[in-house]
């Protein structure tokens, strides 16, 4: 079972990795960020959009923060300008970190119930499973971005959790 310390650590890892990827993505021009690089969501920009969209959707369910303003099929085109995408990513990372730091450990118990627009039905899952999915989803797609950025000639930070400075 996960605990609050794990949630805080994963929130910090999320921020650390996003800062690295966005720093490297900023070294590329808009055309390079939008180039089809053969990943699931094609481009760096589209994949970064999707990660932010999913984080917004899950934080809406976890903490009643604002939901994404576009449906799932438009998750890759939610924000056109890279500067705005970067700004909203930093704000979401801060939201995630604050939520994790303030998390009541009792919240981790039990199930979360919500209506899934993607599945078109009511869903219920253990909160610890959903939090694991939340952080795993980020890591999965960030790995794709890391590979695309590396192939484009940038040098993102290592991704090993054990290398994260935990203070």
* Per-residue pLDDT tens digits of the chain, which is 167 residues long: 799 999 999 999 999 999 999 999 999 999 999 999 999 999 999 999 999 999 999 999 999 999 999 999 999 999 999 999 999 999 999 999 999 999 999 999 999 999 988 888 999 999 999 999 999 999 999 999 999 999 999 999 888 888 887 65
For residue 15, the domain's CATH number is: 1.20.120.450
Question: Structural domain of residue 82, as residue ranges?
Answer: 4-163
In this structure, what are the phi and psi dihedrals at residue 39, rounded to the nearest 5 degrees? Answer: -80, 170
Instruction: Identify the pLDDT of residue 3.
Output: 95
Query: What local confidence, expressed as pLDDT, does residue 119 receive?
Result: 87
Please tell me the total count of domains within the chain: 1
In this predicted structure, what is the pLDDT of residue 22? 98
Q: What is the pLDDT of residue 152?
A: 97
Extract the tokens encoding 25.
Answer: 């993505």
pLDDT of the residue at 166: 66
Give one DSSP letter per residue of the chain, joined into a string.
Answer: ---HHHHHHHHHHHHHHHHHHHHHHHTS-HHHHHS--SBTTBSHHHHHHHHHHHHHHHHHHHH-PPPPSS-GGGGGGS---HHHHHHHHHHHHHHHHHHHHH--GGGGSSEEEEEETTTTEEEEEEHHHHHHHHHHHHHHHHHHHHHHHHHTT--PPP--GGGS---
Alpha carbon 160 to chain centroid, angstroms: 17
Token reading at 76: 């890759």
pLDDT for position 154 = 97
The per-residue pLDDT for 60 is 97
The pLDDT of residue 155 is 95
Give pLDDT, residue 1. Answer: 75
């Amino acid at each position: 079972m996960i605990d609050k310390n794990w949630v805080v650590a994963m929130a910090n890892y999320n921020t650390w990795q996003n800062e690295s990827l966005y720093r490297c993505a900023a070294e590329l021009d808009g055309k390079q960020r939008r180039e089809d690089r053969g990943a699931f969501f094609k481009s760096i920009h589209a994949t970064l959009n999707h990660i932010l969209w999913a984080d917004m959707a899950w934080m809406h369910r976890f903490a009643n923060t604002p939901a994404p303003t576009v449906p799932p099929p438009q998750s890759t085109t939610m924000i056109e300008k890279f500067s705005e995408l970067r700004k909203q990513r930093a704000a979401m990372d801060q939201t995630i970190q604050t939520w994790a730091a303030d998390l009541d450990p009792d919240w981790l118990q039990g199930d979360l119930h919500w209506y899934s627009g993607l599945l078109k039905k009511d869903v219920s899952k253990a909160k610890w499973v959903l939090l694991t999915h939340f952080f795993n989803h980020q890591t999965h797609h960030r790995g794709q971005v890391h590979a695309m950025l590396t192939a484009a000639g940038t040098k993102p930070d290592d991704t090993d959790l054990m290398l994260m400075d935990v203070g």
